[in-house]
A and B are shown apart, each in its own frame.
Chain A
Amino acid sequence: QQQVKQSPQSLIVQKGGIPIINCAYENTAFDYFPWYQQFPGKGPALLIAIRPDVSEKKEGRFTISFNKSAKQFSLHIMDSQPGDSATYFCAASMNSGYSTLTFGKGTMLLVSP
């Protein structure tokens, strides 16, 4: 059972475009929603994260939009650059007990020059 569903699987945008990656979750007990960025040959690294008490969080060109009632959250990359080309993972966890992050299946983003 996949608890975090991520789409699209891959995405190609032109430089300056705004790629949007979507995730949906099932477990209403999730209360922490990070996005990770992974470059080829490297480990995933935390990009930005949100908790359900806010509907949007922005850090630089990266924005998370969160819709608690729909159990969905998304990553927007403003003014995308070729250097943003990477695989992006959404994840979710519960801040209680022995929960750990459950990852989506990843989105391969290519930003063309």
Chain B
Amino acid sequence: DTAVSQTPKYLVTQMGNDKSIKCEQNLGHDTMYWYKQDSKKFLKIMFSYNNKELIINETVPNRFSPKSPDKAHLNLHINSLELGDSAVYFCASSQEQGNTIYFGEGSWLTVV
């Protein structure tokens, strides 16, 4: 059983398109996250949700909009995709903020 699963794993799309990445966790955790990993492998927090409520919203363009329909799901919608959005996006979850985070396998987004 995959603890944190995200789809799609690979996504190639043209500039200007809108796309979504879905994430689900079956660990019963209260907190979910989106991280972005750039080409230099730097991991940067984008958003954090606790029980469906937005807790952390780092300096991310408002073209990125997270949605949490319930505490097991956190989806990421990206409008008007730009070349610089190309990266690996990781969904993650934890029981509490600041403790062990469990990551999904990542979604490789390439904007052409």
A positions within 8 Å CB-CB of B: 32, 34, 38, 41-46, 49, 87, 89, 93-103, 105-106, 108
Contacts and interface: CB of A to CB of B under 8 A. Distances in A.
Interface of B: 4, 33, 40-45, 48, 50, 55-56, 90, 92, 96-106
A93 B98 contact: yes
A100 B97 contact: yes
A32 B98 contact: yes
Given A43-B103, A43-B104, A99 B97 contact: yes
B106 A97 contact: no
A8 B41 CA distance: 14
A44 B48 CA distance: 17
B27 to A, nearest CB: 13
A44 B104 CA distance: 8
**Closest 6 pairs (CB-CB, A-B):** A43-B103, A93-B98, A99-B98, A103-B43, A106-B41, A98-B55
10 contacts: A32-B99, A42-B105, A42-B106, A43-B92, A44-B103, A49-B100, A93-B99, A95-B98, A100-B48, A100-B56
Contacts of A98: 48, 50, 55-56, 97
Contact of B42 (A97, A100, A101, A105): A105
Nearest to B108: A41
